[in-house]
Amino acid sequence: MSWSTTLKIRQQIRARVEAREDIAVMFSDIRGFTSYTAREGDRAAYELSQTHEALLREQIEEQAGIIVKTMGDGIMAAFAELPSAVHAAVGIHRAVRKRNTEHPREPIDIGIGLASGTPIMTEADFIGHSVNLSQRVSSMAKGGQILVTKPFVREVTPPHGCHYMSLGKRELKGLDHVHLYEVAWMGEVARLSDRDDMFTLILTERGTLAIELAKNIQAHIDDAVVQLGKSSGNEAFSSLLQRGIARFTHAVINKSLAASGIDREQPIDSVDLSIDGNEVIVRIGKKPIRLHGVDASQATLFRKKLVEMRDKLHAEVGE
C-alpha cells in the first residue's frame, strides 16, 4: 500500500473518530511464540514473525485497514468500517490455513480479537478502552479463532460461509465481564470442547479435523520455559537450557496433545475418536488428545458425524 493510500485511510479513520462514530480495532498474535523462539532461535522466530506480518498486512490492506504497530509476535490494526475488520480477520485465517497446508512443518497459529469504539488517535498510536478491549479479547482467542464483541454481531453481516456463535460472558482482565462471539469461518460440521474450554475439535466440510488450543495452555508453557531457563544464572547456559526445555516440552505436548498451541488440521481418515464416560480420546496416528469433562451426548453426536463424513468420503472415492 502506498503512503498516500495509508494517509487517506488514516484520515477516514480520524474523521469517524472525531464524529464520535465507532471504528474497529484488531489485535492478532502468534500462539506459542516464546517457546518457539527458545526452541528454534532468534533468527527463525524473526522469520516467522515476518511471515505472519506479511500475511496479515496483505489481508488488512485489502480491506482498507492500516497496521498501527507491530509487536514482534503480534500486530494492532484499525479499520474505519466494522465489516472491513471482520472480512480481514476471516481472510487472515484463510490465508494462514493455506500457508500452513503448504508448510506443515512450520505452521503459524494465531488468535484474533476485534472491538469497536472511538479511541484517541495520536500520530503513531491509538489509545483508549476499545484498544484495551481488543487486546483482551485477542488474549481469549484460541489458535484459529476470531472473537468479537456485540456491536459486530449487531452491525455486520458475516462473510459468506461464516456465522456468529455466542460464547456468553467472559471475564477479561481489568475489564469485568464482556459478552463475546466467535466468527465461525471454517465451514464446520460439528465441534466439541472440553469442560474447561481448553480444547476444541472442529469437524470441517472439507473432511478434516481442526484442533484449537487455548492460549492459556501455551502461556503456562512459555512462562515455564523462560523461568526455568533464567534459573541457571549463566546466560549462555541459560539459552541452551531454554532451548532444551522448549524442545522437551514441545515433544511432550506432541505426544500427549498432538498440538503445540497451533491450529493443526488432519484428514479424518487419520483420526480415531473414542468415548469413555465423560472423556473423549482422539488419536491422530499414535498421538492421543484427551478432552475431559465432555458432555457425553455431544461427544456421541460428534463421533457419529465424523463416522458419517468418513463413510461418505470413502463412498465418493469408490465411485
In this predicted structure, what is the pLDDT of residue 1? 73
Say if 201 falls within a structural domain: no
Instruction: Please tell me whether residues 15 and 134 are part of one structural domain.
Output: yes
Q: Please report which confidence band the pLDDT of residue 156 belongs to, taking 50, 70 and 90 as the band edges.
A: very high
Do 122 and 33 share a domain, yes or no?
yes
Q: What tens digit of pLDDT does each residue of 112-147 get?
A: 999 999 999 998 899 999 999 999 999 999 888 999
Grouping H, G, I as helix, E, B as strand and the rest as coil, residue 63 is: coil
The answer to whether residues 71 and 141 belong to one domain is: yes
193 in any annotated domain: no
Give the strands of the sheet with 176-184, arranged side by side.
Answer: 65-70, 74-79, 23-30, 110-117, 146-149, 176-184, 163-172
Report the first-to-last Cα separation within the chain, whole angstroms.
48
Least confident of 72-86, 92-106, 204-218: 204-218
pLDDT at 287: 67
Q: Tally the C-alpha atoms within 13 A of residue 121's C-alpha that lie toward its C-beta.
A: 23
Q: How many domains does the chain have?
A: 2
SS3 (DSSP) at 145:
coil
Would 172 be classed as within a structural domain?
yes
Quote the cell numbers at residue 41.
532461535
Segment 230-245 shows an average pLDDT of 51
206 part of a folded domain:
no
In a shared domain, residues 125 and 235: no
Task: Mark whether 177 and 72 lie in a shared domain.
Answer: yes
* Structural domain range at position 263: 218-318
- Does residue 143 share a domain with residue 22? yes
Instruction: Choose the final residue of a domain: 141, 168, 185.
Output: 185
| CATH number, domain containing residue 100 | 3.30.70.1230
Single pTM value for the model: 0.79
**Is 32 part of any domain?**
yes
Is residue 148 a part of any domain in this protein? yes
Q: Is the pLDDT of residue 248 over 70?
A: no
61 within some domain:
yes
Most confident of 3-7, 77-81, 249-253: 77-81
> Which pLDDT belongs to residue 106?
79
- Does residue 151 share a domain with residue 48? yes
| Residues 283, 137 within the same domain | no
Whether residue 168 is found in the same domain as residue 24:
yes
Q: Where are the alpha helices (DSSP H) in the chain?
A: 3-18, 33-40, 42-62, 82-102, 129-140, 150-155, 215-230, 235-257, 296-318
Indicate whether 137 and 234 sit together in one domain: no
Whether residues 238 and 151 share a domain: the answer is no
Quick one: 174 and 222 in the same domain? Answer: no
